[in-house]
Structure 1
Amino acid sequence: MEKFQTVSGVAAPMPLVNIDTDMIIPKQFLKTIKRTGLGANLFDEMRFNRDGTEVTDFVLNKPAYREAEILVAGDNFGCGSSREHAPWALGDFGIKVVISTSFADIFYNNCFKNGILPVVLPKEAVDVLMEDAERGSNARITVNLEDQTVSATDGTEFKFEVDAFKKHCLLNGLDDIGLTLQKAASIDSFEVGYAAQAPWV
């Protein structure tokens, strides 16, 4: 997992509330256990018509937002079923930060395990950032995990809270496997000792 520190760029505004995981990545795309390739179907039913052509007025199909790394979303983002494919799809598309007033718990935790920072801010702050994001390529939002700040184009800064352990993992690029590998020496030592004590195992 890549280390996360600062993301600065165009943010895509998605003011819809209750964007659930089936909207993020529809169920027909859950057949894979690979974390790559799902970005092509992110928000599939909103991004594409039935014939496969793009819905031109969907935000991520607009030229200004095609390479957005930040989403500014409505309340209760990531609700619905607890599919890890949702953050996989967001990450594969290139989204590194989602800003909202609230997230579904499982989705929120899955984001950290997959290199995405979910930022919770008060409605007043999200409204400011949503308005900023609607300005397209003329606006740039900056998210600094180390300082725990989100800055709008005009320099207005908002502080956010994040669990210290989750912050540590993102800053150091540690997913569950990475955390385990930090203890590799201790694991190896245990296995050697255990094999000596119980050679029949």
Structure 2
Amino acid sequence: MEKFEKITGIAAPLPLVNVDTDMIIPKQFLKTIKRTGLGVNLFDEMRYDQDGNEIPDFVLNKPQYRDTEVLIAGENFGCGSSREHAPWAIKDFGIRCVVAPSFADIFYNNCFKNGILPITLPQEQVDVLMKDAEKGANARMIVDLEAQTITTSDGESFSFEIDQFKKHCLLEGLDDIALTLEKAAAIDRFEEGMAQSRPWI
């Protein structure tokens, strides 16, 4: 998993509440088990019309937001079904951080497992970030995980809370598999001991 330390990137405003995982990645794209290739279908029903043409007014279709790395969203982001394809699609598009007043629990935890930093902030602070994001590509935000701060293009900074174990995993690029492999030596010793003490197993 890619490490997350500090990014300076374009932030896109998505001032919608209750954005569910079907809006993030519709069900017809859930057939794949690969984590790549889903970015083109992120927010598919909002990005494209019935003929597959881009809807110009949707934020991620606008030229200034095509390289978005930070998404500023409304409360209860990622609600609905528990599909892990939702953070896969977000990450594959290039978004590394999502900021919202609140997240659905399963989506929130899935973000960490896929190298995405979800930041929860009070509504009034999200409003400031949303307004800054509306400035377009010239307004780049700085997200510093080590310092636990997000800074607007005007230099206004907000601190955020994060579980320290989840922070460690993001900083080191550790997903569940990598965490298990850190214990490989201990696992090997256990298996060798079991093979000697219970060879019939």
TM, length-normalised to structure 2? 0.99
Q: Distance in 2 between matches of 1:34 and 1:84?
A: 11
Partner of 2:117: 117
Name the Cα RMSD after superposition. 0.6
Residue pairs, 1:33-44, within 5 angstroms: 33-44=33-44
Displacement of 1:32 in angstroms is 1.0
Partner of 1:21: 21
Q: Distance in 1 between matches of 2:177 and 2:93?
A: 23
Q: Distance in 1 between matches of 2:200 and 2:102?
A: 53
**Are 2:80 and 1:91 equivalent residues in the alignment?**
no
Partner of 1:12: 12
Displacement of 1:63 in angstroms is 0.5
Aligned partner of residue 111 in structure 2, secondary structure: helix
Q: Distance in 2 between matches of 1:16 and 1:3?
A: 29
Partner of 2:66: 66
Displacement of 1:172 in angstroms is 0.5
Aligned partner of residue 95 in structure 1, secondary structure: coil
Aligned partner of residue 130 in structure 2, secondary structure: helix
Q: Distance in 2 between matches of 1:129 and 1:121?
A: 10
Equivalent residue letter for 1:3: K
Question: Following TM superposition, where does structure 1 have runs of at least 4 consecutive aligned residues deviating by more than 2 angstroms?
Answer: none
Deviations, residues 140-169 of structure 1 (Å, cap 9, x unaligned): 111100000000011100000000110010
Displacement of 1:9 in angstroms is 1.1
Aligned partner of residue 98 in structure 1, secondary structure: strand
The unaligned stretches of length 5 or more in structure 2 are: none
**Are 2:170 and 1:170 equivalent residues in the alignment?**
yes
Q: Distance in 2 between matches of 1:57 and 1:164?
A: 39
**Are 2:147 and 1:147 equivalent residues in the alignment?**
yes
Q: Distance in 1 between matches of 2:34 and 2:63?
A: 28
Aligned partner of residue 137 in structure 2, secondary structure: helix
- Number of aligned residues: 201
Q: Distance in 2 between matches of 1:75 and 1:7?
A: 23
The unaligned stretches of length 5 or more in structure 1 are: none
Q: Distance in 1 between matches of 2:84 and 2:194?
A: 35
